Amino acid sequence: MARRHDPERRQRIIDAAIRVAGEKGIAGLSHRTVAAEADVPLGSTTYHFRTLDDLLVAALRQANEGFAKVIASRGGLEDPHADLAVELAAWIGEWLAGDRTGVELEYELYLAALRRPALRPVAAEWADDLAVLLTRHTDAVTARALVALLDGICLQVLLTETPYDEEYARDVLRRVLP
């Protein structure tokens, strides 16, 4: 079915890229596989995303929004007296309790920046934005350390397939906080 006026096409292509990468990994992602998944002509994917890296950047930006939504929904950083270790440990728990395939995909896209320089600024934005949020409660150096610790905890859970231990996370986070 030809769609001449299709204002949602770009978004459908991004969503399709995320589904393809979730099913086949980033190695299985191509303009052709995404076009087929989105049910759009191949030319549409290259029109909206000239390179595969452009498409991956858009997918990573959208994936980053998932964790940002978890943070926003909790609202714990609004309270200046909130226990930061409790809030952060709960964020991780809520995020990891969601769709595991989605979380794994977010990390796969995030780590793809190691080999794809075009993704590095987007991966850095996520870490920088989170660190800025955390500076409402601590200094900038500690905020960066907390971001690194959050990443490490999440990666350990994902890679070892061990259950997330919120009490352990709170304890470790408290050790980093002044």
In terms of Cα–Cα distance, which of 152, 159, 155 is closest to 175? 152
CATH number of this structure's domain 62-176: 1.10.357.10
- The type of residue at 143 is A
DSSP secondary structure letter of residue 40: S
What angle do the packed helices 9-24 and 100-111 form, to 10 degrees? 90
- What residue ranges of the chain are covered by domains with CATH 1.10.357.10? 62-176
Average pLDDT on 149-170 reads 93
Residue 137: other Cβ atoms inside 10 A: 20
The half-sphere exposure of 165 on its side-chain side, counting CA atoms within 13 A, is 10
Which residue is listed with tokens 């809520």? 94
Residue 48: other Cβ atoms inside 10 A: 17
Q: Tens digits of per-residue pLDDT, 72-127?
A: 676 767 777 889 999 999 989 988 887 777 788 888 888 888 888 988 998 888 88
> Domain 1-50 has what CATH class?
mainly alpha
Q: Is the pTM of this model over 0.75?
A: yes
- Residues 6 or more apart whose Cβ sits within 8 Å of residue 8: none
Q: Tens digits of per-residue pLDDT, 4-34?
A: 667 799 999 999 998 998 888 888 899 999 9
First to last CA, the chain: 60
